[in-house]
Amino acid sequence: MYVAVKGGEKAINNAHRLLADRRRGDRSVPAVSLEQIVEQLALGVDRIMSEASLYDRELAALAMKQSRGDMIEAIFLLRAYRTTLPRFGYSEPIDTAEMRIERRISATYKDLPGGQLLGPTFDYTHRLLDPALMADGEVEPGMAAEAETGRTPRVSEILAHEGLIESDGDLPDDHRTGDLTREPMEFPMERDIRLQALARGDEGFLLALGYSTQRGYARTHPFTGEIRIGEVEVLLEVPELGFAVSLGEIQVTECQMVTQFKGSAKSPPQFTRGYGLVFGQSERKAMAMSLVDRALRAEELGEDIVAPAQDEEFVISHSDNVQATGFVEHLKLPHYVDFQAELDLVRRMRAEYEANQKKQEGNGGDTLEAAE
């Protein structure tokens, strides 16, 4: 019989003090500053913002420092912080055609208007460790060239006039934009809520699901129509002013995945699309998101649902790593009473099993004798 107890207060306090000590590490090594994290571990900061679903580079850097670089812990910290703040409103939808582009590539069109800008990419590097970075040497600034200015149309707009590619996703006119931070999730869900869930989804989970569609589990024949990374303006309609105020710029990554579609009872043969939009420079996540968005449109496009990546409830219910880690990690908390109850149960079942076993051995012996 287990009796409920309290305790561990001193152990917990000392454990947290030890955590702070280990977080700081060797005191002869300078402490890392938030500015250093924001500037030099920028893509890690972007991942925290994206999966915490909160755009704030400084706070994301603080979360990374506090979590000792444990990304999911950092995402959890930032997600928890957002619950302490009031909501001022909803922004106007950002316009990615007006993006100040830092990188923009297309795997479908070589000569698209505005050109292919590689930007600060890992692509075409040799993936060799660079010993030069072990020292703090001089780094040359980027080269400069004359830039085109103005709006850069998305590749989907260029393709649209032939009618061989579907248009941007339009929900019915009377549809009110869903918000999963305000309403409980219900399945099946509309594409807007699904995209909100995918935008905050775990990069590794979405990457694996996107990969599974390429390997034949819900094959969609994808091409990267376009990836663009850069800054977009955020506008907020302010009632006391009566106009939309510009709040500044955020950096986003947008991916337009184009997939061949042989047609179905619901739609003619054409190129269909999956969409990815992620905070910061997060190309892998944006690509994975667009693959999974497309796979999850199976029902809408009249495709057979045969693979995990097409199963909306499975994908969306398991894509949030804060929820996932909460439920998995809760298993390490004390379950003494639960376990005691199960132990009693297993003991009883074992006793019954052994009694049955004995009885059958007795019967078995009789049969053997009879046979002899």
Partner 1 sequence: MAKQENMTADESAMDETSRREAMAVLARATQAELEAAWKEWRDKPEVEPVRGPETGLVMLRGRIGGGGSPFNFGEATVTRATVRLSTGQVGHAYALGTAKGKVRYAAIFDALWQDEQTREDVEDTVLEPVRRRVQARTESRAAEAAATKVDFFTMVRGED
Among 24, 68, 175, 335, interactor with partner 1 by CB under 8 A: 175
Does position 47 interact with partner 1 (CB under 8 A)? The reply is no
Cβ proximity to partner 1, 217 vs 270, nearer residue: 270
Q: How many residues bind partner 1 (CB under 8 A)?
A: 83
Cβ proximity to partner 1, 87 vs 330, nearer residue: 87
> At its nearest, how many Å lie between partner 1 and the CB of residue 64?
16
Does position 234 interact with partner 1 (CB under 8 A)? The reply is yes
Measured in degrees and rounded to the nearest 5, phi and psi for residue 342 equal -70, -35
Cβ proximity to partner 1, 58 vs 342, nearer residue: 58
Read out DSSP for 232-264? EEEEEEETTTTEEEEEEEEEEEEEEEEEEE---
Among 111, 130, 136, 140, interactor with partner 1 by CB under 8 A: 111
**307 Cβ contact list (under 8 Å, min separation 6):** 212, 213, 217, 218, 295
Letter for the amino acid at 334?
Answer: P
Task: Report the distance separating Cα 181 and Cα 191, nearest Å.
Answer: 16
Residue of 142, 120, 109 whose CA lies nearest to 230? 120
Binding range to partner 1, per CB under 8 A, among 24-32, 79-87, 301-309, 355-363? 79-87
> At its nearest, how many Å lie between partner 1 and the CB of residue 109?
11
Cα dihedral 127, 131, 134, 135, rounded to 10, equals -130
Positions 130 through 169 that interact with partner 1 (CB under 8 A):
141-149, 154, 156-157, 167-169
Site string for partner 1, 339-368 (x = CB under 8 A): ------------------------------
Residue of 132, 129, 128, 107 whose CA lies nearest to 118? 107
Positions 263 through 322 that interact with partner 1 (CB under 8 A):
273, 275, 277, 279
> At its nearest, how many Å lie between partner 1 and the CB of residue 86?
4
Does position 109 interact with partner 1 (CB under 8 A)? The reply is no
Does position 34 interact with partner 1 (CB under 8 A)? The reply is no
Does position 248 interact with partner 1 (CB under 8 A)? The reply is yes
Among 94, 185, 301, 324, interactor with partner 1 by CB under 8 A: 94
CA distances from 1 to 187, 295, 334, 348, 352 (A): 43, 52, 16, 15, 21
Cβ proximity to partner 1, 8 vs 113, nearer residue: 113
> At its nearest, how many Å lie between partner 1 and the CB of residue 161?
14
CA distances from 39 to 34, 61, 140, 251, 254 (A): 9, 10, 16, 14, 22
Does position 239 interact with partner 1 (CB under 8 A)? The reply is no
Do residues 275 and 293 touch, judged by C-beta distance below 8 A? yes
The two tokens of residue 248 are: 């500044």
Residue of 300, 290, 297, 104 whose CA lies nearest to 199? 290
Cβ proximity to partner 1, 284 vs 297, nearer residue: 297
Task: Report the distance separating Cα 121 and Cα 124, nearest Å.
Answer: 8
